[in-house]
């Protein structure tokens, strides 16, 4: 390494920093062309495009047989070919970015390649078979959701799958014990009830077939068939209730809690390990960036100058404001030396991830344009009034009164007119606030509730005007528009909750864990899609749904004679079927909530395996991981304070404010959050959310992380790239 | 304090140590009479008697109107009077033990006094009203379970109630937010579905009454009416499913997880605080005991001599073996000084709580009586065979084969005879083990599985013999005895699980948290009893159950015309009623599992409040605390190692073993646990369980406890008793 390298490769350093910031672990070539390609690869436009193509590919299930909206095979095939072409292009792009030998070592790439290839093969086979009139199955559709897991951007999802895989052995042991208990109880039930000639309410013999007992008792764990399954025995003798009580106590309460405990514990353990690896990889990347930019003066430790650093930050985050950049520099260069060492430099990735909102407090535009009017005493009175707490409480009261009016019958013309009055009141509120607060501050990016209010009120206004126009012109009301109006009106009520501090704390925590819930959403989509595809092939057309006005005699048993007199048909569950992808998803959701398997009546008994498997995968594993995550996130909220970096940033902000106190602007406070902003031209606040899911994860386990992971790593060799890129764990491919 | 007090009050010191050991916080007089009374008060016989009387008092509900087994009022009244007399006697005894002014300051005592008084008043009013033919309610029965909470022995239960009470404010905020969400969704449902003229499967209008919608959607959170509640809307349009999916996602998954998080977090926080207080109180008591026994030689720190200590331990735990006592002393007096200081003395309470099993390895009795036969080579071969792993595996195989035979039809004479063969095989196993292992070791107290096997095999043998005798004499089989035989046969299969190491670890953890689950059991009994009493007064006789062979026309609607054509009656749920205390308990259990409220149809709509309240109390609060406890206990198992005291005890045991290695006995190993015992005459093992629930709690929070709580408390003044007895928290009375 040259002591002073005058022409530094800023692009390369910027890529390292950006990779560290977003926790990307891609081993790219360091030639200038490769770096440019790599920057292009990471461009948000391409990332969105990839997700859009995956979405289209997944959505094809709506149009393919069994379809919601049938389209000819050639249309869906052409769309799928376009998608596959896009995935291939992305893969080729990736292959250009990273060294050849690395490309084929990465199971993710092989997996995507395999999915594309298998899809093509399947399409050809399907086309040929269909053309020659044979029965054909599009089996490769099961592979589609795996694209979500295996694309470069699916890091979070891969991590979730890895934690599940790592927790599996432990879960398996508890599950085996649990199944042993179910089998034992089933055997006992067979011996106790089988010979007594009891009947279920459907008139079938009660507890005579061992496998059916096992299935029924398994379902009892989900509480879906409670108390139906117990009633025949309980009606026969009160003592038999003891059997079921013991069963529920052991299998529903104790075992389900143990499942949660095991899943939670393992999830936490492995996630901590993953976060530790992430933090180490991030550090290595930052050290590498430092190695590119460092200057060495004589025997002193290498440093990075402020000019260098500024150029780097501008490259990494072009939209950063000067004030924000200066703030970050002053945090890094605590002693005003004009240059920073390795340790301070490494912080940069984390600093960039802290969301700082910079607000220049500007005078109200009206003050500039019409100072005499805006500063007149009536105008000042209005401003003071709007900023007063009583204004907020008045509107909370108005909202509550509105809630009562919404509950009343809206066909009464009086009430319909009152609704207009409320709308005018809400509009007035927004206009008054815009009058007394600076509009750009009012509509700044993080003012979630202001945006929420304005959008809802404006949309409601538009919808009501359209509705009235329709009514006046044609004399009829559009049901859809009315529905939208109602929903908007009711959503407006949420505002009340946000004004109560205690509630806001809970809601903020919920919003904070929002992005991670999205990861779980993807996880659920992957699992649901696979089960929906398999379910559709197995069960499509077994149950038919008839419209309410249908007179078909088959309607009484959902078009399947096997369901005659079944509870399934009696409860009119016919729409719970696998006849298209949307019904399948809704049915799977119902199965997640409560195990409702009328299905098993219409197919072979082994189809129950499908439902049990689904229950194990979704309820026992994924829902428990979800609960574990919510628990952990809440505990972090309750216990962990800000990170060190956040507090030093905050301290710096306060220090700087002291020097610029003279800039304190005029009235600015709307709610408590604003009071904080009003302290100076260089104000900042930390939004509760983190920019990245990784940030939340890192914070969740920060207290447990090994301090040495943050310590200076002296024997790091920037020339040995094997130190830098952590191998992608094996499970990257599913 | 005299420097050397030659006549020490060992009784007083023993009481302090015993109180510290069992975490009793009773401020007693220190006069010799009061101490003797206090010792009597703590006698296990009296404690069992109190629980027996409470049990009888609670069980009276079975015989009182509405009764399972009706008894005349005078009988139940006399029994209740006896119970009340017993409680009064216990209270008077307690009043004699503690100073008068303390007695009336303790809300527990006032509470018990109040319960006794109110019960008497209620009995008189009830008797008078009944005698004069008026309608009367035994309202004081609701108070009965509160006795369980307020007796001196109900420490664990009071603690559980206190944690619940402390967690209430936090739970309340989340609950209000949750209810707000339910109300909002209900309003939306009213507006979206109310005007569409949809019908439920029972033909009633769908979602037209706001309060009914709120109730239905509240029940949907418990997943009890899923998917029924959604079907009419879903059948109308697939888009309406989105409403229900959103609802379930937010209210069932997210809010229920948040409830668990809040309950868990608060439970943990307050329990930690309680455990800290407990530990501090324990320390103070031990310091007080030390103050009584201490000797001071010149300027040195006060000590307790070994002789003194021995006498104390013998008083505290008369059944302790000499070897055990010596072991404890050698742990306390690590440097063999012959006396111990305050710090070492204070450990005693914890040391006594560690369960140490002392086993003198004795030669087999047959070896003593018939040495030539027992030591002959065929006999040695048998012993080696039995101790071999293959023997265990053979019997596991036999058990599995037996499981298959149990599953087969037992009326086949061949299979009935095979069952005899299995029984003989099991008997043979026990006899062989008794031959090769020392019988007293085989049947020692902690050999749970040996006892389990033997009892089950012997009982099964007796039951089968009785059954055969009945068959031979009268030619008929008793169904009850057959049931017992079947259950015993199936329980025998559990043995297989214990032989697999992984499963045993899980089972051990479950057994370990067993005692605390009993505390939750009491909590549940208190809550259930109160709800059952109220429910019986509100709903008794509203629904009647008819035997299967009844021809009463009312049978089709459970004797209540309001239930005509209801799902409740169709599903034959009539036995789910509040007509007696046993039915009520079973119904409440069903409500806990799944909210099943056909009831609300037959009474005023406000009765739904009863079910919602029950759901909030039991499912949201108590079940979540239960889950929180299981989670915490499992995490402790996964993470925390032995306490320091346990490891120093274990180290000591190992040291001592080195000196007595020559005593290694002959074959002793049955299972892995035995191998550990075989190491010396003074062998010990730590059973996974703790003697007290407090021990487990203390261990659970040990890592989080402030170390200063364990540190020497120098400014402790033994003359100021206010330091010693921690005030009982206010919630001691419910």
pLDDT tens string A21-54: 888 888 888 888 888 888 889 888 999 999 999 9
Of all residues in chain A, the one with the smallest CA distance to B260 is A631
Residues of A in contact with B638 (CB under 8 A): 265
Query: Rounded mean pLDDT of chain B?
Result: 78
pLDDT for A430-450, tens place per residue? 899 888 888 877 887 767 788
Residue B726 pLDDT level (bands cut at 50, 70, 90)? very low
Q: Please confirm whether the linkage preceding B237 is cis (ω < 30° from 0).
A: no
Flag whether B106 is in a domain: yes
Query: Of A475-489, A653-667, B402-416, which range is least confident?
Result: A653-667
Bond into B227 cis (ω within 30) = yes
The answer to whether residues A457 and A495 belong to one domain is yes
> Which segment, A123-127, B11-15, B338-342, is predicted with the most confidence on average?
A123-127
Longest dimension (CA), chain A: 96
Q: Would you say residue A678 lies in a domain?
A: no
DSSP classification of residue B9: -
B390 and B451 share a domain? yes
Q: In Å, how far are A524, B286, B347, B715 from B712, measured between CA atoms?
A: 55, 12, 12, 9
Tokens linked to B459: 């009982």
What pLDDT sits at residue B637? 67
**Closest to B258 (Cβ–Cβ): which among A260, A573, A630?**
A630
In a domain, A258, yes or no: yes
Instruction: Test A594 with B223 for CB contact under 8 angstroms.
Output: yes
Can you spell out the DSSP letters for A244-269? HHHHIIIIIIIIHHHHHHHHHHHHHH
Q: pLDDT-based confidence at A212, cuts 50/70/90? A: confident
- How many structural domains are present in chain B? 4
Q: Which of B477, B500, B523 is the last residue of a domain?
A: B500
Residue whose C-alpha is closest to residue B244's, from B186, B174, B199, B200: B186
Greater pLDDT, A711 or A527: A527
Nearest to A228 among B483, B571, B582 (CB): B571
Q: Of all helices (H) and strands (E), which one includes residue A305?
A: strand A304-305
**Residue A601: its pLDDT value, please?**
59
Tell me the pLDDT tens digit for each residue of B399-432.
888 888 887 776 777 877 888 888 899 999 989 9
Tell which of B111, B133, B151 closes a domain.
Answer: B151
Quick check: is B710 in a domain?
A: no
**Predicted pLDDT of residue A670:** 28
Residue B732, domain member (yes or no): no
**Separation of alpha carbons B517 and B509, rounded Å:** 12
Structure confidence at residue B676 (pLDDT): 30
Q: What is the mean pLDDT of residues B236-253?
A: 88
Q: Is B659 exposed, middle or buried, given 0-12, 13-18 or 19+ CB atoms closer than 10 A?
A: exposed
Q: Measure the CA–CA gap between B512 and A339, rounded to whole angstroms.
A: 59
**Omega before residue A66 within 30° of 0, cis:** yes
Residue B361: the pLDDT is 61
Whether a cis peptide bond, with omega within 30° of 0, leads into B66 is: yes
In this structure, are residues A591 and A607 in contact, taking their beta carbons and an 8 Å threshold?
Answer: no
Residue B138 has phi, psi (to 5 degrees) of: -85, 75
Q: What is the mean pLDDT of residues B362-377?
A: 82
Cβ-proximal residues to A354 (8 Å cutoff; 6+ apart), any chain: A645, A646, A649, A686, A691
- Identify the band that residue B82 occupies on the pLDDT scale cut at 50, 70 and 90: very high
Q: Is B674 a residue whose pLDDT tops 80?
A: no
* pLDDT value at A268 more than 60: yes
Q: Which of A69, A237, A510, A586 to mutate to test the interface with B (most CBs of B within 10 A)?
A: A586
Which of A223-232, A459-468, A625-634 tops mean pLDDT?
A: A459-468
Residues B342 and B195 in one domain: yes
* Average pLDDT of span B499-508: 78
Q: Is the peptide bond before A227 cis (omega within 30 degrees of 0)?
A: yes
Residue A115 is given by DSSP the state H
- Do B521 and B623 lie in a common domain? yes
The rounded percent of chain B whose pLDDT value lies above 90 is 13
Residue among B168, B258, B248 nearest B622 (CA)? B168
Measured in angstroms, the CA of B245 and the nearest CA of chain A are apart by: 8
Go through B66-102 and write b for each residue having 16 or more CB atoms within 10 A of its CB, e for each that does not.
beeeeeebeebbebbeebbebbeebbeebebbbeeeb
* pLDDT of amino acid B654: 64
For chain A, give the number of residues. Answer: 734
Rg of chain B's alpha carbons, rounded to an integer? Answer: 31
Helices (H), B388-412: 389-407
- Least CA distance to A259: which residue of chain B? B631
Cα nearest neighbour of B514 on chain A = A254
DSSP reduced 3-state for A96:
helix
The reported pLDDT for the residue numbered A728 is 34
Q: Is A575 exposed, middle or buried (0-12, 13-18, 19+ CB in 10 A)?
A: buried
| Better-predicted residue by pLDDT, B729 or A498 | A498
The pLDDT value given to residue A116: 95
Least confident of A684-688, B112-116, B271-275: A684-688
Minimum Cα–Cα distance from A629: chain B residue: B257
Same domain, A402 and A490: yes
How far CA A239 is from CA of A245, B69, B480, in Å, comes to 10, 15, 11
Domain-embedded: residue B364: no
Mutate: best of B210, B223, B482, partner A, most A CBs <10 A: B223
CA distance B309 to chain A (A): 43
Average pLDDT over residues B173-196: 89
Domain identity same for B197 and B317? yes
CB–CB contact B593 A403 (8 Å): no
Among the partner-chain residues B260, B506, B635, the one whose CB lies closest to the CB of A174 is: B506
* Cβ atoms B436, B444 nearer than 8 A: no
- CB pair distance less than 8 Å for A493 and B184: yes
**Cβ neighbours, 10 Å, residue A85:** 12
Q: Determine how many CB atoms are found less than 10 A away from the CB of residue A658.
A: 9
User: B96 is in which domain, residue-wise?
Assistant: 27-151
Task: Based on the fold, state whether residues A126 and A189 are members of the same structural domain.
Answer: no
* Placement of tokens 């008078």 in the chain: B128
Based on the fold, state whether residues A280 and A318 are members of the same structural domain.
yes
CB A533 within 8 A of CB A61: yes
One domain for residues A487 and A619: no
pLDDT in tens, A360-401: 666 788 888 888 888 888 888 888 888 888 888 898 898 888
Among chain A residues, CA nearest to B584: A238
Reported as a pLDDT band with limits 50, 70 and 90, residue B679 is very low
User: DSSP labels for B107-129?
Assistant: HHHHHHHHHHHHHHHHHHHHHHH
Closest-CA residue to A12 (of A278, A286, A277): A286
Tell me, what's the pLDDT at A695? 62
In sequence order, the 6+-apart residues with CB closer than 8 A to the CB of B11 are B32, B35, B36, B39, B315
Question: In the listed set A589, A607, A638, which residue is the last one of a domain according to the structure?
Answer: A638
Residue A630 and residue B257: Cβ atoms within 8 Å?
Answer: yes
Residue B563 has pLDDT above 60, yes or no: yes
Tell whether B175 and B73 lie within a shared domain: no
The tokens describing B587, both together, are: 């119904």
Q: What is the pLDDT of residue B601?
A: 59
Cβ pair A227:B487 closer than 8 A: no
Q: Pinpoint the alpha helices (H) of A23-71.
A: 32-41, 44-59
Q: pLDDT grade, residue A659 (50/70/90)? A: very low
Look at residue B729 in the predicted model and tell me its pLDDT. Answer: 35
How far is C-alpha A437 from the geometric centre of its chain's CA atoms?
Answer: 34
Predicted confidence (pLDDT) at residue A698 exceeds the cutoff of 70: no
**Based on the domain organization, do A482 and A407 belong to the same domain?**
yes
Q: Comparing A533 with A299, which gets the higher pLDDT? A: A533
CA distance A497 to B635: 36
CB contact under 8 A, A257 and B510: no
Distance CA A400, CA B224 (A): 31
Calculate the alpha carbon distances from B551 to A196, B555, B558, B564 in Å.
21, 7, 12, 16
Specify if A482 maps to a domain: yes
Quick check: A556 pLDDT over 50? yes
Please name the helix (run of DSSP H) or strand (run of DSSP E) that holds residue A163, with its range, or none: helix A155-193
* Residue A129 zone, left/alpha/beta (φ > 0; ψ -120 to 50; rest): alpha
With a pLDDT cut of 70, the percent of chain B lying above it is 82
Phi and psi (nearest 5°) for B245?
-65, -45
Query: Which token pair is A538?
Result: 């197995």
Q: Is residue A657 part of a domain?
A: no
Residue contact A483–B192, C-beta within 8 A: yes
8 Å CB contact of A226 and B173 = no
CATH code for position A463: 1.20.120.350
Same domain, B537 and B554: yes
Q: Quote the pLDDT of residue B356.
A: 67
pLDDT at B643 over 80: no
CA distance A400 to chain B (A): 12
């Amino acid at each position: 390494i040259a002591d002073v390298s005058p022409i530094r490769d800023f692009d390369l350093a910027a890529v390292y920093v950006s990779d560290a910031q977003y926790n990307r672990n891609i081993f790219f070539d360091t030639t200038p062309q490769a770096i440019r390609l790599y920057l292009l690869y990471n461009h948000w436009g391409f990332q969105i495009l990839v997700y859009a193509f995956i979405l289209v590919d997944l959505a094809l299930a709506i149009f393919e047989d069994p379809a919601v909206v049938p389209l000819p095979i050639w249309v869906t095939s052409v769309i799928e070919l376009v998608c596959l072409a896009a995935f291939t292009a992305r893969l080729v792009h990736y292959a250009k970015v990273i060294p050849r030998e690395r490309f084929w070592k990465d199971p993710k790439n092989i997996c995507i390649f395999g999915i594309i290839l298998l899809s093509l093969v399947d399409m050809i086979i399907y086309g040929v078979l269909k053309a020659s009139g044979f029965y054909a199955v599009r089996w490769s559709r099961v592979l589609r959701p795996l694209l979500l897991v295996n694309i470069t951007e699916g890091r979070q999802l891969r991590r979730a799958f890895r934690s599940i895989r790592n927790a599996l052995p432990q879960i398996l042991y508890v599950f085996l014990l649990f199944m042993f208990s179910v089998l034992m109880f089933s055997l006992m039930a067979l011996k106790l009830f089988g010979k007594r000639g009891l009947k279920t309410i459907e008139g079938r013999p009660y507890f005579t077939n061992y496998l059916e007992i096992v299935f029924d008792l398994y379902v009892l764990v989900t509480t879906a068939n409670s108390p139906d399954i117990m009633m025949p025995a309980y009606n026969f003798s009160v003592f038999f209730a003891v059997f079921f009580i013991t069963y529920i106590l052991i299998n529903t309460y104790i075992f389900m809690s143990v499942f949660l405990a095991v899943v939670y514990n393992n999830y936490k353990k492995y996630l901590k390990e993953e976060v530790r690896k992430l933090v180490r990889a991030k550090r290595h990347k930052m050290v590498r960036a430092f190695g590119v930019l460092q200057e060495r003066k004589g025997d002193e430790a290498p440093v990075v100058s402020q000019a260098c650093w500024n150029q780097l930050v501008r490259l990494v985050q072009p939209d950063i404001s000067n004030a924000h950049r200066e703030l970050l520099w002053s945090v890094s260069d605590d002693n005003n030396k004009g240059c920073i060492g390795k340790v301070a430099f490494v912080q940069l990735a984390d600093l960039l991830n802290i969301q700082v909102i910079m607000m220049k407090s500007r005078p109200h535009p009206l003050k500039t344009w019409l100072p005499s009017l805006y500063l007149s005493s009536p105008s000042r009175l209005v401003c003071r009034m709007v900023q007063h707490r009583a204004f907020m409480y008045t509107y909370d009261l108005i909202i509550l009164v509105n809630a009562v009016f919404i509950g009343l019958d809206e066909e009464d013309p009086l009430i319909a007119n009152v609704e207009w009055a409320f709308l005018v009141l809400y509009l007035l509120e927004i206009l008054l606030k815009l009058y007394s607060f600076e509009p750009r501050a009012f509509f700044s990016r993080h003012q979630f509730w202001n945006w929420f209010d304005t959008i809802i009120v404006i949309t409601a206004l538009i919808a009501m005007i359209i509705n009235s126009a329709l009514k006046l012109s044609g004399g009829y009301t559009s049901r859809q528009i009315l529905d939208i109006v109602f929903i908007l009106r009711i959503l407006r009520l949420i505002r009340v909750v946000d004004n109560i501090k205690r509630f806001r704390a809970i809601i903020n925590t919920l919003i904070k864990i929002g992005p991670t819930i999205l990861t779980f959403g993807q996880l659920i989509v992957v699992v649901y899609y696979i089960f929906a595809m398999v379910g559709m092939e197995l069960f499509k057309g077994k149950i038919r749904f008839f419209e309410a006005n249908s007179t078909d005699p088959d309607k009484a048993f959902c078009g399947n004679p096997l369901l005659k007199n079944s509870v399934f048909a009696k409860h009119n569950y016919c729409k719970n079927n696998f006849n298209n992808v949307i019904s399948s998803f809704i049915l799977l959701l119902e199965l997640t909530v409560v195990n409702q398997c009328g299905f098993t009546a219409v197919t072979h008994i082994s189809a129950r395996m499908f439902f049990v498997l689904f229950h194990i995968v979704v309820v026992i594993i994924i829902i428990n991981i979800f609960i574990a995550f919510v628990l952990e996130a809440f505990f972090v909220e309750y216990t962990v304070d800000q990170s060190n970096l956040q507090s030093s940033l905050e301290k710096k902000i306060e220090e700087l404010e002291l020097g610029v106190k003279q800039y304190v602007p005029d009235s600015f406070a709307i709610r408590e959050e604003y009071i904080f902003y009003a302290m100076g031209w260089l104000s900042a606040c930390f939004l509760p959310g983190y920019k990245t899911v990784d940030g939340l994860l890192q914070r969740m386990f920060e207290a447990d992380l090994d301090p040495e992971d943050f310590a200076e790593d002296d024997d790091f060799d920037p020339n040995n790239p094997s130190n830098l890129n952590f191998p992608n764990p094996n499970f990257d491919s599913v």
